[in-house]
Structure 1
């Protein structure tokens, strides 16, 4: 049976329960990825103490995952189209589980960093297949219900990650310190792999393009040349080669654009579909996603360091403090998609940027006023405000960006959006060494460390607030109302296999 026949067979059997089992499996994988990002942040101080990791190694534990994930997303999606989405999903989740074991049993910080990079690369194979499998398995009229479930998973992941990380760190199971935050993936990953083999139907894009290996190499090289000096620059005293490397990264990205343009003209299979950037809303949306990723990368890491090192809180208290934020994100995200965007369009996203920025400023005022004596309940107000703002952005942004993209490029555009958001996140993690650690002097006495971290957190919040102002301005280039929410904007179309879904 061909992949197209498999897809039509599945679509033609709406009562087939196998596809709902398949959905549960791929949602579990998506949940694992979401939790794995947030669960590590809360355990960073414990990793730093127990493993003796340096500042740059701590940053690479998070940035290495984000960088490998970002660099591999488009490639992972393209490989799924070529070789089969089920096959790549199983390979990805198997590799992710193995990498989690290597993280959990790492004998030194270097092994932990390398294992995290491997884990990010495996996630880049696994995650793009989720949306592709949904498209290949469910008919169009059922996908709204499916994506509603995914929204719930995102909210649950945001709540569960910090709490689970805090509990596992506090409990110190079997004297393993922070290691269970990675080892918990093992039984989940093995079960998902076994069930995936049984219930997920194989599918491929009918006209899959060849993998652009030169494009993959140029993207990876450019990111490495940009992020490595940012991450290690402060520790090494900002050497000249670091500035040369960052400037050279711009040349690599320019070479990527030139090569992709020629490859598109030659065989129509570029890694990056440059014609998408001619769509104003898409180009603006890519800029918003990138800059938004920078803000998230900065905030979540420095927030964890602020609470656990600056304020001296235990991981569980830090994790519980973040619950109001996570609940606000989940609630606002659901409300924005179902009620607000159809009525107010782009204004919802712009309001989200302003509300999130306002929450950051309130947090900044409270952190300055109360210093190290600030209580968890005093953080609740700014965190709820920030969570509402973030929820109004994260859920409808992809729809807004894709609304004016030609239908035949929708899958490729989705993959590119996810990639640049992760690239921005990795860039933000790299900038932590500048906007946060750059405010902390070396050789501080024990009594000076807490106040220094509190001051550095306040300095980083100014950066986040400024970034949200830039995002608000960039959002003015988005369409006033996403096409799918404009009455009569789109007639029903014949159901078909997407050309390229990431």
Structure 2
């Protein structure tokens, strides 16, 4: 992409000029084995996504085996997500300061060890603590993936790498459901739920060994300070937002949750003031103002937030419906979603093969059609019907259509960000995506659960799923509006 090209002409590319992390302006050499390097990075990303979903399937067995209360079980599931979402931007800054490859390896090592600790946890208290540690390590690992892709790939290779990244985000959810169900059902050597965590240990060990040979040597930029005031204020704001969203329904939306949400909004305002003050003093703000002002970043990021929120929220409701409402096993429930996630991943990798004249309007059209597709699934299941050929047939094209929106939006979010700002931009975008998943499950999950309390008749569950599908459709239509607006950014 040249300096004169815009997101409208090539909507998914990002600048091909690269610089060292030290800002010298020298382009790092291309990776000797780009396919292996990309596979290494995306496997780390895959593990982080996998652990958001795989534990959901194992939750009932964990509760029985460890005699866990409902609130403690919620913390086992949410502790990872909260720590992960709150610390992503911090992880991005640490990667820029100390070296993307080094921090990625540190995150992988910590994630592997904490996964081992989760698998060996003797009680629910220990499991909660190790899950939080696992989320912290994921926040160190994940932001480096996009940063390293931006620093080591360019042009068409970068588009393909971002497409593969999209496929991994989608595939992690499906594999998490299926693999979690298979491992729990197998009950290997009487281990019950523990393999859902221990499966990360050999994968993480292999990544650490391969990373020593494959990861590029990119020096950190120690001139950028850590901006501790900004870190603390932002982490507090994100925590005050995420914790009540994750725990609100389980706790019946108590007053403290609403107060925390309000305080979170105030903390974001305070964060803006702190960052301006740091910049005025000649310091190094946590997020450079020019990053947030990059054309298309926040608009496309908002579209990604709504897209992932809709996807995650509807999948959460659908998983409850097919298991608790229709009585499917965890493994069978995971297989229901497999065509959709396969379609999502395939189109995320290959959408650019469509005629270029369609590219500018592709995200907006795809999101609008996806919204109608979710609505169609809700209509087909609204009276408690079994999962039939019609629903199964709709899942694959629905995934194909949704995935063809995600890839272009990701590209447009990063298209006008300078490579020197890769860490800041990746932290912001990934945080918005993760927050989208949290908010989507909280809002759409609450909409679904407000209409049904299990055990319940399949028809009651189906009508609640239809109400959730209506909310999903509305959110995706809003995302389509943002996608249409980002075409005019520049």
- The TM-score, its normalising length taken from structure 2, stands at 0.85
C-alpha offsets along residues 135-162 of structure 1, whole Å, 9 cap, x if unaligned? 5555667545555554555565455333
| 1:59–1:430 contact (8 Å) kept in structure 2 | no
Selected match of 1:264 from 273, 279, 292: 279
Alignment of 1:111-130 (within 5 A): 111-130=126-145
Q: Tell me the CA shift for residue 32 of structure 1.
A: 1.9
Query: Residue 420 in 1 paired to residue 432 in 2?
Result: yes
Query: Residue 392 in 1 paired to residue 404 in 2?
Result: yes
User: In the alignment, what sits opposite 2:469?
Assistant: 461
Q: Tell me the CA shift for residue 11 of structure 1.
A: 1.3
Of residues 53-62 and 99-108 in structure 1, the stretch that sits farther from structure 2 once superposed is 53-62
CA RMSD for the aligned pairs? 3.2
| 1:63–1:430 contact (8 Å) kept in structure 2 | no
Q: Tell me the CA shift for residue 183 of structure 1.
A: 0.8
| 2:114–2:131 contact (8 Å) kept in structure 1 | yes
Q: Tell me the CA shift for residue 288 of structure 1.
A: 1.7
Q: Provide closer, same or farther for how the CA distance between residues 113 and 435 of structure 1 changes in structure 2, counting only shifts above 3 A.
A: farther
Alignment of 1:466-481 (within 5 A): 466-480=474-488
Tell me, in whole angstroms, the C-alpha distance in 2 between the residues paired with 1:284 and 1:10: 30
Aligned residues, how many? 471
Q: Tell me the CA shift for residue 310 of structure 1.
A: 1.5
Q: Tell me the CA shift for residue 368 of structure 1.
A: 1.1
Alignment of 1:28-427 (within 5 A): 28-51=43-66, 53=68, 56-137=71-152, 143-144=158-159, 146-147=161-162, 150=165, 153-154=168-169, 157=172, 159-206=174-221, 208-279=223-294, 281-340=296-355, 342-369=356-383, 371=384, 373-405=385-417, 408-427=420-439
User: In the alignment, what sits opposite 1:489?
Assistant: none
Tell me, in whole angstroms, the C-alpha distance in 1 between the residues paired with 2:130 and 2:299: 35
C-alpha offsets along residues 434-456 of structure 1, whole Å, 9 cap, x if unaligned? 32333345xx6x5x365554443
Q: Tell me the CA shift for residue 87 of structure 1.
A: 2.1
Tell me, in whole angstroms, the C-alpha distance in 1 between the residues paired with 2:482 and 2:154: 35
Of residues 33-42 and 244-253 in structure 1, the stretch that sits farther from structure 2 once superposed is 33-42
Tell me, in whole angstroms, the C-alpha distance in 2 between the residues paired with 1:39 and 1:463: 25
Tell me, in whole angstroms, the C-alpha distance in 1 between the residues paired with 2:128 and 2:377: 32
Q: Provide closer, same or farther for how the CA distance between residues 267 and 292 of structure 1 changes in structure 2, counting only shifts above 3 A.
A: farther
Q: Tell me the CA shift for residue 113 of structure 1.
A: 3.3
C-alpha offsets along residues 312-336 of structure 1, whole Å, 9 cap, x if unaligned? 1111211211121122112322332
Structure 2 residue matching 1:210: 3-state secondary structure: coil
Q: Provide closer, same or farther for how the CA distance between residues 55 and 141 of structure 1 changes in structure 2, counting only shifts above 3 A.
A: same
Unaligned runs of at least 5 residues, structure 1? 484-502
Indicate the structure with greater helix content. 1
Tell me, in whole angstroms, the C-alpha distance in 1 between the residues paired with 2:120 and 2:460: 33
